Chains A and B, each alone.
Chain A
Amino acid sequence: MATPVLRVENIVKRFVTGSASITAVDHVSFTVAQGEVLAIIGPSGCGKSTLFNVIGGLAGSDEGRVIVEGRTLSGPDPAIGMVFQEESTFPWRTVADNVAFPLEVAGVARTERLKRVHHYLELVGLKGFEQHHPAQLSGGMRQRVAIARTLAFGPKVLLMDEPFAALDEQTRLLLGDKVLQIQQALAQTTLLITHSIAEAVQLSDRVLVMTYRPGRVKRIVDIKLPRPRTAEIIGSKDFGLYVAEIWNDLRDEASLGMKDAEAKLPQAE
């Protein structure tokens, strides 16, 4: 693989609740190469979202560093573009103005702004919807607006936190296709955080499996499926084998998480 664009080194994040200190993320390290898609997968409560916030610079870490192209980041940085799992378009802005937002903030001139907005809207397949408001679009289209907005920011690394979580299965597969297309067209270095094994295998070159609490790197699986890929890949035998292999790794972690959750429920007499 080529030289890493993103290097995550020994990230540790603890939360203090009262007198107890809980380690959410425990010495997590990995790299993502130029043009590569790395998926991070783990059970709920493994610290995936914490890791997302730390890498995106929205939260600090107790130890460790996030390095992009040799530069250690502190706080939100133009090198990293975040896509959130929640509905995150600005309802009062049109589609075009949503995508223009990061450019306005960065002080990009109007003509250049319009050019880039046009380019990225075309890329995500929303040409012709420039003047619509988010309320007039479907959930999948809104998430594409959010992706176009983040890409317009021109990040070295696209960082996505369960970007399809709020969508139905079919929309999710189609949007996955779209993301593959875009990623391949831009050779966009991407870090995808997800809890869906199928999504991780469908989209990525490598899948990093995390342990349940504290979140550590359990294993990294190379996905040697051909590229360019489409959603058709989910019917292939290799796809099934990868999903089974990752589930094997994930099962123990997920059941630990489930036991924890059940222990917290009130017991019947």
Chain B
Amino acid sequence: MAAEGLMISRVALLRLAIIASTLLFWEALAESGLLFRDVVPSLFKIAHALGHLGANADFYANLSATAVEVGVSLAIGGSVGVAVGLLLGGSRLMGRAFEPYIHYLGPTPKIIFFPVMIMWFGIGPGSKIAMGAISCFFPVALITAAGMRQIDQVLIRVGRSFRASTWQMVTKIYFPALRHPLLNGLRLGFGVSVIGVLLAETKLSNRGLGFMVMQSYSQFDMPGMYALLLVVFSLAIMVNSLVSQLGGLEVPNH
């Protein structure tokens, strides 16, 4: 026990050391004057910009625009992904016919669809939501389909022997049996829809965090840009751990 406690504290120390040395290195680089102006701005400047950001009403408007886009894209891409995954995992025929396409389209960079999405949905939130939804659809569909194939077959036979309807099978057996893959899909789906939405915002838009980042960049407001990136990082980490906690509230499994 004591040895384990020591291990944990050593791990924690090392982690702190990594952060501290990174920050020190960063600050040293900023102060050295080796790089052009604010390419690597001082930590104090970034902290100042963060404070500035917090007092900026524009920032909150853009933050909520991005949050809405991510939320809607997750809802659309996630639910379509789950539905398609259930279908592909539940039917051998459908799975074998359609899954290769999803498998090979999955890893392709979705940003190539962006011009098409702009044509279809305009340069407003529509095209950003579409990008997020497309990004989210693939991993969710694949994880759901794989999860379907791992469901204990006897549980399905139990459901059938008690004459459960298709709807009852889905809600009372498939969904609860799929709780782990579905949570995993939600987490991965969230990650990629944030990527999809932010990437789209940096390309062509007039609001959202991605837009703000590009605006800071074009005005060469490096401290402001880094402050925004920090905000995006911490938000992503927060949501991720929130979803993980959701998984942690699980009943014990045998």
Residues of A within 8 A of B (CB): 56-58, 76-78, 81-82, 84, 86-88, 90-93, 101-102, 104-106, 133-136, 153
**Closest B residue, CB atoms, query A98:** B158
CA distance A78 to B160 in the complex (A): 11
Contact partners of B173 in chain A: CB under 8 A? 90
List the B side residues contacting A84 at CB < 8 Å: 154, 157-158
- Asked if B252 contacts A102 (CB within 8 A), the reply is no
Q: Is the CB of A88 within 8 A of B168?
A: no
Q: Is the CB of B160 within 8 A of A58?
A: yes
Looking at B161, B177, B254, which has the most chain A CB atoms within 10 Å of its CB?
B161
Q: Most A CB atoms within 10 A — which of B158, B159, B165? A: B158
Decide yes or no whether B251 CB sits under 8 A from chain A. yes
Which interface residue of A57, A77, A81, A91 has the most chain B CB atoms within 10 A?
A91
Which residue numbers of B lie inside 8 Å of A, CB to CB?
152, 154-155, 157-165, 168, 172-173, 176-177, 179, 251-254
Q: Report A67 CB to chain B, min CB distance, Å.
A: 18
In the complex, are the beta carbons of A105 and B162 less than 8 A apart?
yes
Does A58 contact B154, Cβ atoms closer than 8 Å?
no
Q: Inside 8 A of A90's CB, which chain B residues have their CB? A: 155, 158, 173, 176
A102, B251: Cβ atoms closer than 8 Å: no
Closest to A94 in B: B251
Q: Is the CB of B172 within 8 A of A104?
A: yes
A92 and B162 form a contact (CB under 8 A): no
Inter-subunit contact B162/A76 (CB<8 Å)? yes
Q: A92-B176, A104-B172, A134-B254 are in contact. Are A78 and B163 (CB under 8 A)?
A: yes
Give CA–CA (A82, B160) in the complex, Å.
10
- Which chain A residue lies CB-closest to B154? A86
* Contact assessment for A133 and B251 in the assembled complex, using a CB-CB cutoff below 8 Å: yes
In the complex, are the beta carbons of A101 and B254 less than 8 A apart?
no
Cβ-neighbour of B161 out of A58, A92, A104, A136 (below 8 A) = A58
Note all chain A residues with C-beta closer than 8 A to B254: 87, 91, 134-135
Q: What is the chain A residue whose CB lies nearest that of B254?
A: A135
**Are A101 and B162 also in contact (CB < 8 A) when A84-B154, A87-B154, A92-B179 are?**
yes
CB neighbours (8 Å) of B163 from chain A are 76-78, 105-106
The chain B residue with its CB closest to the CB of A139 is B254
> Which of chain B's residues have a CB closer than 8 A to the CB of A135?
251-254
Give the distance to chain A from B246, nearest Cβ to Cβ, in Å.
Answer: 14
A-chain residues with CB within 8 Å of residue B168 when the two chains form the complex: 105
A88 with B158: CB separation less than 8 A: yes
* Chain B minimum-CB-distance residue to A77: B163
Q: Is A91 touching B162 in the complex (CB atoms < 8 A)?
A: no
Q: Is the CB of B157 within 8 A of A58?
A: yes
Q: Are A76 and B160 in contact (CB under 8 A)?
A: yes
The answer to whether A133 touches B161, judged by C-beta atoms less than 8 angstroms apart, is no
CA distance A76 to B253 in the complex (A): 29
A88 → chain B closest CB, angstroms? 5
Closest A-chain residue to B253, C-beta based?
Answer: A91
Q: Which residues of A contact B154 (CB under 8 A)?
A: 84, 86-88
Min CB–CB distance B179 → chain A (angstroms): 7
Q: In angstroms, how far is the closest chain B Cβ from the Cβ of A267? A: 34
Minimum CB–CB distance from B167 to chain A (whole Å) comes to: 11
Q: How far is the CA of A153 from the CA of B164 in the complex (A)?
A: 12
In the assembled complex, the Cα of A91 lies from the Cα of B172 at a distance in Å of 12
**Cross-chain contact of B252 among A76, A78, A88, A136 (Cβ < 8 A):** A136
Q: How far is the CB of A224 from chain B (nearest CB, A)?
A: 33
Cα separation A82 to B164 with both chains bound (whole Å)? 14
